[in-house]
Amino acid sequence: MTAASIFILFMPLSAKESTQKPTVAASTFSLYDISKYIAGESAEVFMILPFGVDAHSYELTPKEMIKINKSALVLYNGAGLEPWIKGFSFKNRAVDMSKHVELRELESDHEHNHKDTHNSHHNIDPHYWQDPLNMIKAAEHIAKELAELFPKNRDLYMKNRDSYIDMLKKLDADYKKSLSSCKLDTIIVNHDAFSYLAHRYGFHVEALSGLSPEAEPSAKNMMKIIEHVKEHKVGTLFFESFASDRAIKSIAKEAKVKVDMLQPLGNITADEAKANLSYEDIMRKNLQKISQTLECK
């Protein structure tokens, strides 16, 4: 084989490699949704968690570690949500997004569950994406990170950032309007991923198992929830796709009320991904269910 033929054989591979898009890795669905929207076609954005997997307990495979390490930018939730992040050595730029939003401390009666799941961050609630105002802060910072890495696309990122933030502001306004006048003030869930949402829009959350979806609720807590449901005539109890619904269905049967799914958005199901549902789509579905359950006008 001549030197010329060797050059011809290898030239297509080099051309392909030179046109490959940079990759951006996001650990949760909310960060993935922001990044995909702002980056547009300028980068390949992928979610580290496979669709349909619980964010709290997932463990990375060696293949996934390699893909993450090759990414130009890694965005992770932080605040203790991803146990696998501890000890992970990133090759390129990695950003703990919890440092760029407003965090809330846990209610004291939930701390014991959170300690087991999130270790050193046991006093912080990591579900900050449930507050659209935190999503605005995240969108601003992600756009900044992308513009610094790929300055030639800066105008695209700023335009897409502004459009995404406009959507979040409208979402915030609709939540405020829909939940401004309600007969009831408490939703019942199996796992408390909604304290940011409740704090922002003025309702309360009663959770069977605190912040750890794997934790088993105590008999005392189950009885407390049953009494609350009966006393306040709560019509619906909520469960999630990634946590056992056995306890919540048991309470619903005892109290003779309905059950429905509320999506906490740490991840989404494979069916939701197939339907191409966005953060906004799912937040609006949640709003409809919460508003109906709280009997809002």
Distance of CA 107 to the CA centre of its chain: 20
Residue 88, pLDDT score? 82
Q: What's the pLDDT score for residue 29?
A: 97
| Cα 102 versus chain centre, distance | 15
The CA distance from 130 to 282, in Å, is 11
Question: Which residues does 217 contact at the CB level (< 8 Å), separation at least 6?
Answer: 190, 208, 209, 247
Whether the full predicted model's pTM is greater than 0.75, yes or no, is yes
Print pLDDT tens along the chain (297 aa): 444 443 334 444 444 444 589 999 999 999 999 999 999 999 999 999 999 888 777 888 889 999 999 999 999 999 999 988 887 888 899 999 999 999 999 875 544 344 334 444 568 999 999 999 999 999 999 999 999 999 999 999 999 999 999 999 999 999 999 999 999 999 999 888 999 999 999 999 988 865 455 556 677 878 888 888 888 888 899 988 777 778 888 888 888 899 999 999 999 999 999 999 999 999 999 999 999 999 999
Residue-wise burial string across 9-41, b where 16 or more C-beta atoms lie within 10 A, e elsewhere? eeeeeeeeeeeeebbbbbbbbbbbbbbbbbbee
**pLDDT the model gives residue 36:** 98
Q: Residue written as tokens 């619903």? A: 252
pLDDT (0 to 100) of residue 108: 52
Q: What is the pLDDT of residue 41?
A: 97
Please give the pLDDT value at position 14: 44
75-127: per-residue pLDDT in tens? 999 999 998 888 788 889 999 999 999 999 987 554 434 433 444 456 899 99
